[in-house]
Amino acid sequence: MQVLIVCHSDYQHTQSVADAIAAGAIAALQDAGEAEKIFVKQAADVNLDDMQVADVLIFGTPVHMGSMAWQMKQLIDKGSKLWMPNALQGKIGGVFATYGGFGGAGGGVEQTLMSLHANFLEQGMLVCGFPRSLSGYADAGIHWGLAVRTGNDEGMPEGVSQAALVAARAYGAHVVETALKFKS
Ligand SMILES: Cc1cc2nc3c(=O)[nH]c(=O)nc-3n(C[C@H](O)[C@H](O)[C@H](O)COP(=O)(O)O)c2cc1C
């Protein structure tokens, strides 16, 4: 099973979450006795072949002005070439975002996660939310996916908490376990 984790990250918050998701995905594949083929890439480095050969696609972004970073949207628009031949149909998807969250209102993270879902659904994929039974749900789980707040109450960058990294590992494992169930 091949897993492709893609994000854009300017200041490494989203990248560190992507790495934790990868760790969870690796653990799930090891538990299942499957070969580990996990790739973590920045959006700008991903080509259409990378997406086509993956069984699982997990896309993440920082929230930028209430929506995804343009680098992720650019990749999604490039992926429209895969829509006509149904090349991504039936693959399993997962989504994550980091956000400053000043004011505690979420800063647009829910609509950002939903817009990542929308792309996967348009491509005919099956998408995974973040079930409340997973570790870290109260810290970084939203039913749409993984949402990691990185800002503090003064509106300044704080970093990615250990609790959020626990949630990220749980989410990576969950998406892979779902894909393994679907495959069998
Ligand atoms: C251009 C820009 C716009 C941002 N807009 C928002 C926003 O609308 N809502 C929010 O909660 N955080 C916003 N943030 C904060 C980032 O989402 C947050 O710091 C994120 O964790 C950065 O991820 P990175 O380190 O991977 O780049 C913005 C940051 C930048 C640089």
Tens-place pLDDT, residues 114-168: 999 999 999 999 999 999 999 999 999 999 999 999 999 888 999 999 999 999 9
Tens-place pLDDT, residues 8-58: 999 999 999 999 999 999 999 999 999 989 999 999 999 999 999 999 999
Beta bridge partners, 96, equal: 60, 146
Residue nearest atom 9 of ligand 1, based on CA coordinates = 107
pLDDT of amino acid 103? 77
Q: Is 2-183 CATH 3.40.50.360? A: yes
6 Cβ partners below 8 Å, 6+ apart?
18, 40, 41, 42, 43, 46, 57, 58, 59, 60, 72, 75
Tens-place pLDDT, residues 166-181: 999 999 999 999 999 9
Ligand 1 neighbours, Cβ below 6 Å, are: 9-15, 62-66, 98-101, 107-108, 150-151, 157
CA of 181 to the centre of ligand 1 (A): 35
